[in-house]
Amino acid sequence: MVQILNIYTISLFVALGGALFGLDVASMSVILGTRQYKNYFGNPLGTRQGTITSAMAAGSFFGALSSSFLGDQFSRKVAIQVGALLWCIGSVVQSTSNGVPMLIAGRIISGLCIGLTSSLVPIYQSEIAPRKIRGRLLSIQQYALSWGFMLQYFVQYGCSFINSQAAFRLPWATQAIPAIILFIGLFWFPRSPRWLASKDRWDEVLHVIAFLRTANSDINNPIVLAEYKEIEDQIRLERDQESNSFHELFSRKMRNRVFLSMAIQVWTQLCGASMLAYYLVYIFQSAGIKNYLLASAILYSIFVIVPIPTILWTDRWGRRPSLLIGSIFLAFWLFLIGGLLMRYGEPNSDPNQPITWVIVDHLAVSRTILACSYLFLSTFALSWGPVSLMYSPEIIPLRIRAKSVSLATASNWAVNFAQGFAVPPLLRSTTWRLYFIFGSFNIAAFIHVLVAAPETKQRTLEEMDEVFEHREPLWKSFTGGRVSSRLEELAMDIEMCELRRQG
């Protein structure tokens, strides 16, 4: 009999928390170009539209900061449920908004949910995952986000033909459905074994590990006992150090890891993916693409297919190569788009349009920019998108994991807020130069990862101290370095001891 509730189905279900962000991005991306939205909210342009868009990121910033307290105090699972409730409230406020202020308030409330889930879903997934497939399970979060993009886009695209306010109110209201499913479903899911260990609920720890690692929940399985002992040893070591978790965040031993975690999240935003995702309609209009809604639909469909190789093989090819190669290609696509706009674009004569620089009567150039946009977001979905979600919770010890990921995610949302607010006026003032700015950020990200980020694939969470304190040269990390087998060795020792006892 197939066990329905297993490590894959749990990770896939909890990734609905990531899909919620995709719902928001897709809905705003399409709504920006609809006549109904423009008429009701007074055709917001520049800073006004930037404020509406970035309100979600502002809420996410505070949600991410609160995630460490909620996740440590009430468990990762319960905190995610709190986020789901906030998302439902935000959806109601947005869908019933009577003006820009109420719309902004609803987006801030929804943002609180995104801040919580974007911090705690990767932590939860990493803490229940076996080391050999941890990257695969964490990358499911990005895949769920891609599905959120696509499904909400088609809902919004269909509603755009409604000749009433329902064109934008209905999509915002339907966003609550997956959050309701997530909230209810989590009642049947186990808590993180590492969180249970931090609360000294050791009997539950053993049973949860057995449930996650064996088909018959065998608590005497050597692999189960080995993982249990490794967690127990790590908890004991952390408590023996008697360190204040807040102080340790920026201690000499941990600050490099904490800052690396924050930097990875910041580079994820500065690579330009959020700019293209939120303001795809503006970018396609600037490129002279007439049917930009259809072009966006094709892009979001591709976005669902592209992450599959990363899900299947990221634990084989590693995190570090994905980030390095991804940065180079992301920079190339942005430089190419910016160069084409610079060479073939011209000022837009209509002041009521959100873009001031357009390509006119250059069909081949417009199609090339369209292809580059597809390739850019596909590259992001293969590299920085999923890897940034898995890297931050992997490299931090349990005692400060929630706090560190909270800071890293808050950094992500702070930059996301700045982008959401600044990109609309920047597109009007800097035009094609904006692509060169984001392309340069990708070059900087490449250099930083090259000199500072070791490979973490195939390591248990309890082995990250060894990775960072006694790490091999980074050039060896690029090829994967030594693959740890400490957990298997411990399991073999336990099995041999049991055989001797029986003998």
Indicate the domain borders of the chain. Answer: 7-192+213-488
- pLDDT on residue 420: 76
Q: What is the pLDDT of residues 200-235, one digit of tens each?
A: 999 999 999 999 888 788 888 888 888 898 888 888
Strands 357-359 and 345-347, sheet pairing: antiparallel
Which pLDDT does position 242 carry in this prediction? 54
CA–CA distance, 235 with 201 (Å, rounded to integer): 12
> pLDDT for 464-502, tens place per residue?
777 787 666 565 554 444 444 566 666 676 766 665 565
Alpha-carbon dihedral sign for residues 192, 193, 198, 204? positive
Q: What is the pLDDT of residue 418?
A: 85
CATH class, range 7-192+213-488: mainly alpha
Please, how many CA atoms are within 13 Å of residue 99, restricted to the half-sphere of its CB? 1
* pTM of full prediction above 0.75: yes
Closest Cα partner for 299 from 275, 318, 316, 277? 277
Tokens of 55: 């309100």
Stretches where the chain sits below pLDDT 50 are 1-2, 478-484
Burial (CB count within 10 angstroms: exposed 0-12, middle 13-18, buried 19+), residue 286: buried
Three-class secondary structure of residue 5 per DSSP: coil
Rg value, the chain, Cα: 23
pLDDT of residue 479: 46
3-state SS, 443-496, equals HHHHHHHHHHCCCCCCCCHHHHHHHHHCCCCHHHHHCCCCCCCHHHHHHHHHHH
